[in-house]
Amino acid sequence: MKSSLRKVDCYEPITPNGNDELACEIPYGFRKSNSKHMKQLFLYAFAILVFSSSCQEKEKSSPTFLVDDQVRARIDSTLSSFVESGNIAGVSALIFEKDQEVYYNAFGYADRENQVKMERNTIVQIYSMTKPITGTALMTLYEKGKFQLDDPLAKHAPEFAGMMVYDGVDENGNIKLVAADRPVTIRDITRHTAGFPNRADIPGLSDILAEKDPRSIEIDLTEMARRIGEVPLWFQPGTQWEYGQSVDVQAFLVERISGIPYKEYVQTHVLDPLKMSKTRYFVPEADRIKMSASYRRTGEGQLEQMPNEEAHRFNINEWPLSPGGFGFTSTLDDYMTFARMLVHKGEFGGATILKPETVQLMSSNQLPDSVTERSWLPSKGNVGFGIDFAVRVAPPASADEMNGTVGELFWDGAASTLFWVDPVNEITAVLFVQLFPYDQIKLHKKFKDAVYGKYKPAESK
């Protein structure tokens, strides 16, 4: 059987409908006598056309990056200036955008006195940047249906049943108590509206807090919860935003619901799957040489190194307490892995930690408008609070406000560390430093301005 295909010379119609436009552009004699060469010419031209189209398509699909050479130079200048001014000993930063590393640098010293440079693998104490990790561990149990956010805390932890609320002191200085309008819920402990007191200046109540000492690192989570439950609430649940031991209670709740020690649970369900091997409570002796020293700023350009025995006390000894609200050390790359898991909606590096809808829930503002008393939270910008981190709800209103994009989630640590996740630009950033008191030099503000550019008023419509 003969094939239905026929040989087509270059002078013959080559289009299915017999259109001779292409063929007729070539003189007949040249076509007839140079058919072999014309075939090669045609194939060469076709290849160029395909390659050109492919390049154009690639150019169209190539992502544009916010962090370009100009931004990198701006970040370098900003961070190095803090070291040169003597206001910090050392600082490092790592930024990913659209799954590409777009910035890394380190300046100054992890240990200035011993001339140990700040490096990518420097281990720092992240303090409250522990909190989002604890919230992630808790929400793995939420996904398993072990609790609902509006469950009373006492449903799972009777230590918090029947709590009373502080109502000031009488003429003799004795505290007055009233019944709680409603129980503390799990949602309350994820957004800091539980009412747990945390200050030393509340008449009468601070004395009880000091006596019970639920912050002691020499007790375990069960004893901690019992002691917190014996201290009256500072305010009615759900009425104010106030930092406290809420996230330590989350760690206790993970332990209570799962039946597994918190330290073991977070290791198994968050840290190990993400290969965050340097994020831990206890730093073994072999790794302590990589730990950054901590510095106390005593004036402009004046730093005082804190003794390692004091600054590192929690992390170079093993303690009964495995707190949810502080305590982890980490490296830039370790914490960046955690941040990238969040920007990827719960999945990263082949590990699924949370479902996308759970990350979305955590990233959504959980504070109703009725919560008008928000302590120092407004200093972070126009933000609400999700589950264990702040959530930006509006663009900056002025040049003085912290920069950022709407939908960004972030948190920081007592030693002036910072991380954020910007889902709009697909940016994750980690800034490491070990500076006390917390960021009096506007390091975070200037770093974010370097990344995003200085404030520009929104155009009026």
pLDDT at site 456: 81
pLDDT at site 454: 85
Residue recorded with tokens 């819920």: 185
Residue recorded with tokens 């295909």: 5
> Which has the closest alpha carbon to 332: 95, 136, 131, 102?
95
> Which has the closest alpha carbon to 137: 390, 341, 349, 417?
341
pTM of the model: 0.86
The CA-atom distances, in angstroms, between 103 and each of 344, 367, 415, 439 are: 19, 34, 22, 22
Query: What are the tokens at 311?
Result: 């600054």
Residue 436 CA, chain-centre distance (Å), reads 21
Beta bridge partners of 116: 111
d(CA 312, CA 210): 23
The CA-atom distances, in angstroms, between 321 and each of 250, 252, 309, 325, 328 are: 13, 10, 19, 11, 12
Query: What are the tokens at 276?
Result: 């965050």
pLDDT digit of tens for each residue in the chain (461 aa)? 444 433 333 333 333 344 333 333 333 343 444 555 555 655 555 555 545 555 555 445 678 999 999 999 999 999 999 999 999 999 999 999 999 999 999 999 999 999 999 999 999 999 999 999 999 999 999 999 999 999 999 999 999 999 999 999 999 999 999 999 999 999 999 999 999 999 999 999 999 999 999 999 999 999 999 999 999 999 999 999 999 999 999 999 999 999 999 999 999 999 999 999 999 999 999 999 999 999 999 999 999 999 999 999 999 999 999 999 999 999 999 999 999 999 999 999 999 999 999 999 999 999 999 999 999 999 999 999 999 999 999 999 999 999 999 999 999 999 999 999 999 999 999 999 999 999 999 999 999 999 999 888 766 54
Residue recorded with tokens 């989350």: 250
Q: Name residue 225's amino acid.
A: A
CB under 8 Å to 186, separation ≥6 — which residues?
147, 148, 149, 150, 151, 153, 156, 253
d(CA 349, CA 341): 8
Count the Cβ atoms, other than its own, within 10 Å of residue 406.
14
pLDDT at site 15: 38
Distance spanning both ends of the chain, measured CA to CA = 73
d(CA 206, CA 24): 96
Q: Would you mind telling me the total number of residues written for the chain in this entry?
A: 461
d(CA 70, CA 66): 10
CB under 8 Å to 31, separation ≥6 — which residues?
9, 10, 11, 23, 38
pLDDT at site 134: 98
Yes or no: say if 153 and 253 are a contact pair by the CB < 8 Å rule: yes
Residue recorded with tokens 């040049």: 399
The CA-atom distances, in angstroms, between 240 and each of 42, 172, 344 are: 75, 27, 32
* Per-residue H/E/C for the chain: CCCCCCCCCCCCCCCCCCCCHHHHCCCHHHHHHCHHHHHHHHHHHHHHHHHHHHHHHHHHHCCCCCCCHHHHHHHHHHHHHHHHCCCCCEEEEEEEECCEEEEEEEEEEEECCCCEECCCCCEEECHHHHHHHHHHHHHHHHHCCCCCCCCEHHHHCHHHCCCEEEEEECCCCCEEEEECCCCCEHHHHHHCCCCCCCCCCCCCHHHHHHHHCCCCCCCCHHHHHHHHHCCCECCCCCCECCCCCHHHHHHHHHHHHHCCCHHHHHHHHHHCCCCCCCCECCCCHHHHHHECCCEEEEECCEEEECCHHHHCCCCCCCCCCCCCCCCCEECHHHHHHHHHHHHCCCEECCEECCCHHHHHHHCCCCCCCCCCECCCHHHHCCEEECCCCEEECCCCCCCCCCCCCCCCEEEECCCCCEEEEECCCCEEEEEECCEECCCCCCHHHHHHHHHHCCCCCCCCC
> Which has the closest alpha carbon to 362: 250, 253, 245, 445?
250
Query: What are the tokens at 215?
Result: 């912050």
